[in-house]
Structure 1
Amino acid sequence: MYDRTFGTGWDDLDREEAVRRAFALGVAEGVGNRRPEELDRVLEAFPGAYDRSLVELAYDEGRTKALEVVEGADDPEEVWNDLVDGAGVPREPPIRAALPGAITELTLTRGPRGGPPSSLDFPSMLRK
């Protein structure tokens, strides 16, 4: 499944591609198709601890989702197709699971809150 969708003939990965591959590798392990050597290659593409932790978290998320879906599925191929499309893109973005909570809560699409910021508001003891 993983080999058919992604292939293993790569030399360099950006962070987004590594997260996608790690998620897919987690899904593959969840259905019994473990690829530890490919995961090691993806991890070795990033010497920094932050990037490596993102890859590991995406892998864990893929494996967790696959194990949840496996319970109700008869065929590993069905689980793979439920979680990863034909182009190798996860059907649910692994980014939310792969980023710390403080980062995922920041968004440019969310409008500003109404009213003054709490740091500029009067303390309750000064209000009548």
Structure 2
Amino acid sequence: MYDRTFGTDWDGLEREEAVERAFALGVAAEIGRGQPAELDRVLEAFDSAYDRSLVELAYDEGRTKALEAAAEAGADDPQAVWDELVDGGGAPRVAPVSAALPGALTELSLTKRPREGPPSSLEFPSMLRK
């Protein structure tokens, strides 16, 4: 499933693509189609511990979501779990690590308008306002 959707002949990955692949690898691992060597390759694509930890979080989230989806469906159909969590283009149908990403990277903060006025740290304390 993972091979058909993503392929394994890549040389470099951006962070977002690595997170999506890691999520899908987590789903695949939970439904019995794990590829630990591919996960290692995705992890090795990054030098920073921060990026590697995001990849690991996405992998764990994929495993968790697959376990939940299999329990809710009550069926042992790996393809149904895969289709529920990963679309045909490889994008996760749920946010892979939304709780783990800093506020600036979450999809909710990308749609918010910037605050008007100075940052709250530059405002006068309430006792100095009339």
TM-score band by shorter chain is: 0.7 to 0.9
Q: Give the C-alpha shift of residue 47 in structure 1.
A: 1.0
| Residue correspondences, number | 128
Q: Distance in 1 between matches of 2:107 and 2:84?
A: 27
Sort the Cα spacing of 1:113 and 1:102 in 2 relative to 1 into closer, same or farther, 3 A.
Answer: closer
Residue aligning to 2:57: 57
Residue aligning to 1:71: 71
Stretches of structure 2 lacking an aligned partner (at least 5 in a row): none
Residue aligning to 1:26: 26
Q: Distance in 1 between matches of 2:101 and 2:108?
A: 11
- What's the TM-score, normalizing by structure 1? 0.81
- What's the TM-score, normalizing by structure 2? 0.80
Q: Give the C-alpha shift of residue 97 in structure 1.
A: 3.7
Contact 1:30–1:67 (Cα < 8 Å) also in 2:
yes
Question: 1:17-64: per-residue Cα shift (whole Å, max 9, x none)?
Answer: 101100000010111111110000000000110110110111111110
Tell me the SS of whatever aligns to 1:96: coil
- Give the share of equivalent positions with the same residue, in percent: 73
Residue aligning to 2:9: 9
1:94 to 88, 96, 99: 96
Residue aligning to 2:112: 110
The answer to which of 87-96 and 16-25 deviates more is: 87-96
Sort the Cα spacing of 1:106 and 1:7 in 2 relative to 1 into closer, same or farther, 3 A.
Answer: closer
